[in-house]
Chain A
């Protein structure tokens, strides 16, 4: 099945809508629309990595998180202070329903142990996990649990 996304406002020709109802074509949609990533001062939650050596302060935008697209700010520290140079992968997963999301979030390092995660699309209500792979100076994992209304 074909799928397509359109940039800007939702635009979908009548022919495409009819084809959609006929099950022939998958979609009409705007491209990603990132939230205005202003993060609050207080973290939503703080998690510890699997090894126990890393602490991650988690802030979201919006906070508290809601259904749709989020940005997530991770501030990673260890006993020595902020941890830079990590390659972080983020996999959204719904453990209650056994599935993930259609978009792979993107991670960019901001310096001082801060990492910005964008393209976090959580479209279904319920409990989501952001399952993190933390590689570089270490090889570790962490899980952030978010309750999405």
Chain B
């Protein structure tokens, strides 16, 4: 039987796409966590890319402090749309750096009030170093280090001008992320895992000083690359953070958690253009989250690359 070629590089497109999935779900502008992941990763041989990402999302409820899921009450609507301009460049053959510039718009309808706001968000700079390229070794999986910084360039909630805060576009503090990623492939199948630590800097608002707890994010994905050059993956992401420090004392029970599931895809349109997308949902079930809103979101990204 003639062995069928394995469209290997779409594993990498998917690896880039799957990283979009949890980032899209972690979409509350005030409170982003591991959004310092690079939303657009250079695949093998690419030297640079630019892209535009569009992410609509809807708030469907929240997890409370007891990890119970609380659906949004009747009459409460929150819809968000985020556009992100992304650029990545390669350096020293195994490194890549990415800048992401977001714009956000939010619509809220709560009771008799409707409000629409938005603006420029928190810029993210991130980098990746591939110590071992995926597929380079039969024994060792691909291994990379990832780093990211989110800058408080957006508008934090206290600086918003609108009563329902729809023109909130930023978290109001720096956030630093660091972690590693592993990838391995077997013919048409591939799997990736990413683990990140994220820490925000303290915020001082009036007489209140708060330092959010250290956040751990773990993302897993498994996918399949078809002979037609399309590829699909399923993703699961879990984020957990410790209690915050509020005015020098631990705010017990303030830690957060969320579980997000997603389906991601990648489709090369030509040698230089590709489409990436994902559909994600925070899992609205007990015990899978804590002190976090739950969202359903979609992400589409068009990328132009240079080799």
Contact = CB atoms under 8 A, between A and B. Distances in A.
Interface residues of A, number: 45
Interface size class of B (residues with CB under 8 A): 35 or more
Contact of B246 (A4, A31, A95): A95
Nearest to B166: A27
B166 A29 contact: yes
B114 A149 contact: no
A133 B108 CA distance: 30
Given A67-B110, A68-B111, A126 B116 contact: no
B120 A23 contact: yes
Interface stretch (B6-14, B64-72, B177-185): B64-72
A147 B64 contact: yes
B172 interface: yes
Interface string B128-162: 00000000000000000000000000011111111
B113 A124 contact: no
A3 B161 contact: yes
A27 B165 contact: no
Given A3-B117, A93-B208, A98-B210, 20 more contacts: A5-B162, A10-B115, A12-B116, A23-B118, A26-B155, A26-B161, A26-B167, A27-B117, A29-B115, A29-B116, A33-B111, A91-B206, A93-B205, A95-B210, A98-B173, A99-B156, A99-B157, A123-B108, A124-B165, A127-B64
Interface of A: 1, 3-5, 10, 12, 17, 20-23, 26-33, 35, 66-69, 91, 93, 95-103, 119, 121, 123-127, 131, 147, 149
